[in-house]
Amino acid sequence: MEITEVRIKLMEELGERLKAFCSVTFNDAFVVRDLKIIEGSNGPFVAMPSRKLTSHCPYCSCKNHLRAGFCNQCGKRLRETVTAKDEDGRAKLYADIAHPINSSCREMIQDRVIKAYEEERSNATQPGYVSRYDDFGEEESAPAPRSSVVRTTQQIQPAEKPRGPHTPPAQRSASKDGAASSGFGEGVFE
């Protein structure tokens, strides 16, 4: 397995621990997005994409965040759930969506992403810098090839004139029986 591309999106908030988001492409075939580069006590590290863990309300079965005190759906007070703990004894509130299985893979990803992060930081100081992070998906939005476009010879009919109360005031001057319309709601049932 080879990392073929790393794209970095630097965060602009100074003083925050979250320094950047990144996407990693493997073998020009598989992309993992939303990895985070976080400034730790020993320097930057890569956090894998994750989701919040949830539990179900015992009354309505709606999903709620583990630390929620009340149900998002029915509003009833939730029982305090016993959350799983990590190896440091902290409550586990998030689960990784994608992550390396062994330490050698984690180190390969971390080394490559941190190197790309440092390069992106230096490139960001150059005039005219534009992040490539959001360029993903341009291939999907490109127009379809000409051979797959279906053309029809159907004529387009002109749009009908608007009916009902939304016609211009000049056309509402007389009702169906010929009397002048002057009251509120005139022309609603035409």
The string of pLDDT tens digits covering residues 149-166 is 444 444 555 555 555 555
CA–CA distance, 42 with 82 (Å, rounded to integer): 32
Asked whether the predicted pLDDT for residue 96 surpasses 60, the reply is yes
| Final residue belonging to a domain, choices 94, 117, 152 | 94
Asked whether the predicted pLDDT for residue 140 surpasses 50, the reply is no
Pair 40, 105 in one domain: yes
Pair 33, 71 in one domain: no
Pair 45, 66 in one domain: no
CA–CA distance, 25 with 135 (Å, rounded to integer): 13
Whichever domain contains 118, its CATH number is 3.30.1120.40
Please name the helix (run of DSSP H) or strand (run of DSSP E) that holds residue 123, with its range, or none. helix 103-123
Could you tell me if residue 7 is inside a domain? yes
Number of domains in the chain: 2
Give residue 57's domain range.
51-94
Task: Give the pLDDT confidence score for residue 131 in this predicted structure.
Answer: 81
Pair 41, 110 in one domain: yes
Could you tell me if residue 158 is inside a domain? no
Using the Cα atoms of residue 162, residue 164, residue 168 and residue 171 in order, give the sign of their dihedral. Answer: positive
Task: Give the pLDDT confidence score for residue 149 in this predicted structure.
Answer: 45
Q: Mean pLDDT over all residues of the chain?
A: 77
Pair 89, 65 in one domain: yes
How sure is the predictor about 177, in pLDDT bands with cuts at 50, 70 and 90? low
